[in-house]
């Protein structure tokens, strides 16, 4: 049984948005193509991209924006990268923190606000 969830809409700093925007260019992805997709589709695709880009481990740099260059991190870093990429296309996001998960401890994921629902938050990771 999952314990309480806390959703936090902590802002991504401009430096993170800038790093995410540069990431799109380095990956050869058109930022506008993602901006023109429905948020649910962009979120789904970017979630898959982040899983392919990041690997589990300890970050090699104390600068969190370096995760957009070399993403070796835990779930919080994955979430930061995904939120940055979504914020760069103007999507509203928030962290979803799960506590006291059996055999794991805690976990951080991302929710994105969908444009077509009144309460439209979708859990991505």
User: Which is it for strands 55-56 and 72-73: parallel, antiparallel or unpaired?
Assistant: parallel
Tell me the C-alpha to C-alpha distance, in Å, between residue 67 and each of 59, 85, 95. Answer: 8, 12, 17
The pLDDT of residue 99 is 81
Give me the domains of the chain, ranges plus CATH numbers: 5-123 (3.10.620.30)
What the block records as the tokens of 54 is: 């990041």
- Cite the beta strand spans of 9-68 per DSSP E: 55-56
Q: Which residues of the chain have pLDDT under 50?
A: 1-2
What is the distance between the alpha carbons of residues 100 and 90, in angstroms, rounded to a whole number? 32
Under DSSP, is residue 77 helix (H, G, I), strand (E, B) or coil? helix
Cα 76 to Cα 120: distance, rounded to the nearest angstrom: 23
Cβ proximity of 70 and 60 under 8 Å: yes
Give the E-state strand segments of the chain in sequence order.
5-8, 55-56, 72-73, 93-101, 105-113, 121-123
Q: For residues 93 and 86, is the Cβ–Cβ distance under 8 A?
A: yes
């Amino acid at each position: 049984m999952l314990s309480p969830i806390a959703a936090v809409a902590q802002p991504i700093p401009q430096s993170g948005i800038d790093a995410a925007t540069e990431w799109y260019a380095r990956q050869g992805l058109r930022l506008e193509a993602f901006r023109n997709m429905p948020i649910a589709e962009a979120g789904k695709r970017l979630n898959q991209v982040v899983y392919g880009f990041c690997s589990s481990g300890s970050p090699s740099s104390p600068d969190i924006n370096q995760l957009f260059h070399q993403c070796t991190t835990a779930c919080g870093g994955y979430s930061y990268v995904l939120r940055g990429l979504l914020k760069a296309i103007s999507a509203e996001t928030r962290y979803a923190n799960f506590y006291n998960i059996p055999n794991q401890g805690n976990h951080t994921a991302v929710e994105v606000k969908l444009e077509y629902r009144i309460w439209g938050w979708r859990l991505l990771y």
